[in-house]
A = this chain, B = another copy of it.
Amino acid sequence: MKIPDIQNQSDSRNIVIDKVGVKGLRYPIVVEDRINKTQHTVAELDIYVELPHYLRGTHMSRFVEILHHYHQEALIGNLENFLNELKDSLQAEAAYININFPYFISKKAPISHISSILSYDCEFSASLKEEYDLLIGVRVPVTSLCPCSKEISAEGAHNQRSIISIKARYQEFVWLEELIEIAESSASCEIYSLLKRVDEKYVTEKAYNNPKFVEDIVREVTLKLEQDDRITGFLVESENAESIHSHNAYALISRLHK
């Protein structure tokens, strides 16, 4: 039986489609881990190509088929090959993949030194047009404590959970763990899943002695990223879930298009 290939029809509307493909595909992956070599996790994938003006449709089954060519353990180390194969298979001028996943790190509490595991939402975002481009990203939960509230109040200071996001482009390899450390060291205090009372005393006092506005956080991250010669572009955001409001405080610095 011959089954017609409708997607392969020619298209006379003469319109290139910037991105077309699959979105929200969940897939188990293995990522490199600075301590344990590898880590199993679960990703959500968006995979797109640019569609030439003369084709009516792309072949979405090939996106998933090519993905399965890369055994789940090999995908992350072969993103450029994956995008190349996608471009060739689909006669595309450009190909894109976004990979979002939780990444787990074992941390020791600051005083008791008891270990616990904290998760960070991370991202690889790769594209291949004339050149290959890769952005890596982390979203890091931290504590922020308000300098104004501390200064004007007789006692105490409002503080809250904040999320610091960093996306970075590099010319020499950078670990996700390194971006996470940059974020954590730029907040009022870092966060742990397990804190005994001696640790809770420590993080409370550390945050109180280390107040940061949302503006301070993104500027401190920026200073650190600018001083790292491996990093060639970045975007920093901080979003603070203000404990005294029901809206958030937010700041963004972009050095992606320098």
User: In the assembly, what is the distance between CA of A154 and CA of B2, in Å?
Assistant: 13
Query: Least Cβ distance of A129 to chain B in Å?
Result: 14
User: In the assembly, what is the distance between CA of A250 and CA of B15, in Å?
Assistant: 16
Asked whether A253 lies within 8 Å of B148 as measured between CB atoms, the reply is no
A48: B residues at CB distance < 8 A: 250, 252
Asked whether A42 lies within 8 Å of B102 as measured between CB atoms, the reply is yes
Asked whether B42 lies within 8 Å of A116 as measured between CB atoms, the reply is no
**A37 on the interface (CB 8 Å rule)?**
no
Counted per complex, copies of this chain come to: 4
Chain A 208-219 per-residue mask, 1 if CB under 8 angstroms from chain B, else 0? 110001111011
Asked whether A252 lies within 8 Å of B23 as measured between CB atoms, the reply is no
Closest residue of chain B to A144 (Cβ to Cβ) is: B243
Q: With A7-B148, A18-B253, A247-B25 in contact, is A205–B64 under 8 Å at CB?
A: no
Query: Least Cβ distance of A138 to chain B in Å?
Result: 13
Closest residue of chain B to A46 (Cβ to Cβ) is: B250
Question: A147 touches which one: B6, B115, B251 (CB < 8 A)?
Answer: B6
User: In the assembly, what is the distance between CA of A222 and CA of B15, in Å?
Assistant: 8
Q: Which 10 pairs between the two chains have the least Cβ-Cβ distance?
A: A156-B208, A40-B40, A141-B246, A153-B204, A26-B119, A23-B250, A25-B247, A20-B251, A64-B194, A6-B148
Q: List 15 A-B contacts (CB under 8 A).
A: A3-B197, A16-B253, A20-B251, A23-B248, A26-B246, A48-B250, A57-B213, A61-B194, A68-B117, A156-B207, A158-B204, A159-B159, A160-B160, A160-B241, A200-B244
